[in-house]
Amino acid sequence: MTVYKAPLRDIRFILKELVHAEQLVDLPGYEEATPDQIDFVLEELAGVCQELLFPLNQSGDEEGCHYEDGVVTTPAGFKEAYAKYVEAGWPAMACDPEYDGMGLPKTVRLLAEEMLSSANLAFSVYPLLTTGAYTAIFKHGTDELKRAYLPRMVEGSWSGTMCLTEAHCGTDLGLVRTRAIPQDDGSYRVTGSKIFISSGEHDFTENIIHLVLARLPDAPSGTRGISLFLVPKFLVNEDGSLGERNGVVCGGIEKKMGVSGSSTCVLNFDDAVGHLVGEPNRGMSHMFTMMNAARLGVGMQGLGLAEVAYQNARAYAKERLQGRALREPRYPEREADPLIVHPDVRRMLLTMRANTEGARALAGWVGLNLDLAEHHPDPAVREEAGDLVDLLTPVVKSYFTDHGFLATNLAVQIHGGHGYIRETGVEQFVRDARIAQIWEGANGVQGLDLVGRKLGMHNGRLLRRFFHPVAAYLEAHQNDPLLGEFVAPLAKAFGRLQQATARIAQQGLRDPDEAAAVSSDYLRLFALVALGYMWVQMAEISLERLGIGSSGESRVNGGQATADAAAASVGDPKDVPFYQGKIACARFYFQKLLPETSSLFAVIMAGAAPVMALGDEGF
């Protein structure tokens, strides 16, 4: 059996000490989002994740969803758990109070996604899709559509989907064939087939609101000719009651590698009544409102699985007795030492932890800027925050999900043969993690988005939103003897990133393949520097909390006097190990993980030739 406990201590550290989320109460609409209120919400949700959702994770995977004659039944316990989830008001978490939402900051929602994904990824997909559909309707729908659909979606009695993919087109949505024919009453008749539709059919809610990409009869070709339509499973009467069944039917569900408790459907639209969302032929830009939010959510799925994988690997490494420590027995009273004494096991655990905690910190920074971009009264601040979110969205989606798959694999490796069998439960994490690298835009596409769109956007304005604060931090601390061990390697890695950026910008103008061939490597380089920027700040905070002076003499080293001094500085002796752990993880990150930027830099500077030289016929 697997274990999970929400990492509330680390989340509090990020919100209160790193990104200073207390500033949210100064934003219009967030007056009630006090630190105490946010604490309460996260505590309550942690209980839901640990006690309600996590116990259903393994059984839901074993059973999966059931399909019969267009009807989908979710695994035992899922429907009842969703009813309790709705009863507690969780679907309304970050929704606008005008439509009965709680109006909580998106920072909170983003970190909540991690806990939900750790507890039960398959379950978490259903509300995540609804949140995305809500966002698109809220941003681009008419007031009439908002009044008719959003309150019930916020309430949780109706859910939502996004219907993009067709059998012949996934990433290339310019090939979409689904048609929408305008009617005299202002509605449209939508006909076509969509595949891989998460939550497309299920037994959670009384209605499902599909957001569908389709073409109008006179639409131009390619992505410029796609519009977005709202197509409900059941038609909605003027008084808000449900009418007759619409012309959309589930044609089957996929048998998948993982997330078995999440229904992945084929949806057939046959003359279904739909309503235009936003402007004609602007469907792609409107859908990206939903997709960008979903990409951040998927990134948090990778992070969530990395966290639960780490917790189970750590527990197993501490209890599983195997061999002896190489120097001398660490636990001579036992018949063998636990796995945790072995250097390679510790390397794997620290790799998992350092990436996970660094990613969580980056998520907190992105979440804060999501809120600043929407609620800050100063347009310049909103623009700057929005730019940063846009720039980092592909980084979060790609790196977090790559790390999620790596971390879950490391958990299996630490468990050895016991990790490979289903009874232990960790092999499920690997299978569940794999899809996150694919859906909402495969990770290779995220690299293309970063180098092909984000770097050159607004003459490099987005890039400056990240480069400038990093450069300013490094300059301010370049002579700090306490932070030198962190600042110096980050400065070198940042220099590599700057050089790689210049090369891609220069060579990419000459030949687009030069940028595309190294885009995934560049995104990873960018992510490593971004996590380094988070880690140096976390190290700085932790050193300050432990009362370590610039001389470094009071560094915590196991001595009683030093430990007492650290406890006195922190205030709560129980927090001393937390900050010690942060400093140790920071050192591991800078000495063992950040050096990968050197090899990535070499790969990027090699350009496209090694990738493109072999002709198609040579493969």
The catalytic site residues sit at 440
**Residues 155/91, Cβ–Cβ less than 8 Å:** yes
The token pair that represents 332 in the structure block: 């001579």
Residues in the chain: 619
Sign of the CA dihedral 564, 567, 568, 569?
Answer: positive
Enumerate residues 6+ apart whose C-beta is below 8 A from 84: 48, 52
16 contacts 39 by C-beta, under 8 angstroms: no
Ramachandran area for residue 236 (φ above 0: left; ψ -120 to 50: alpha; else beta): beta
Helices (H) and strands (E) in the chain — how many of each? 20, 11
**Burial class of 168 by CB neighbour count within 10 A (0 to 12, 13 to 18, 19+):** exposed
Using CA atoms, how far apart are residues 99 and 138, in angstroms rounded to an integer? Answer: 10
Nearest to 307 by CA among 368, 364, 278, 349: 349
Residue 535 amino acid letter: W
At 162, list the tokens.
């996004």
Which structure tokens are listed for 321?
A: 């007795």
Rounded distance between C-alpha atoms, residue 256 and residue 435, angstroms: 9
Residue with tokens 């290339």: 172
Task: Go through 143-157 and write b for each residue having 16 or more CB atoms within 10 A of its CB, e for each that does not.
Answer: eebbebbbbbbbbbe
Residue showing tokens 């050096």:
595
Q: Which amino acid is at 595?
A: P
Helix (H, G, I), strand (E, B) or coil at 451: helix
Of 387, 382, 429, 392, nearest to 408 by C-alpha is 429
Spatial contact of 131 and 116, defined as CB atoms under 8 Å apart: no
Q: Would you say 272 and 235 are in contact if contact means Cβ atoms under 8 Å apart?
A: no
Contact 270, 245 (CB under 8 A): no
User: Which token pair is 224?
Assistant: 């410029």
- Tokens at residue 155, please? 């309430």
Which tokens belong to 85? 């989830």
Q: Say which amino acid occupies 317.
A: A
* Secondary structure letter of residue 2 according to DSSP: -
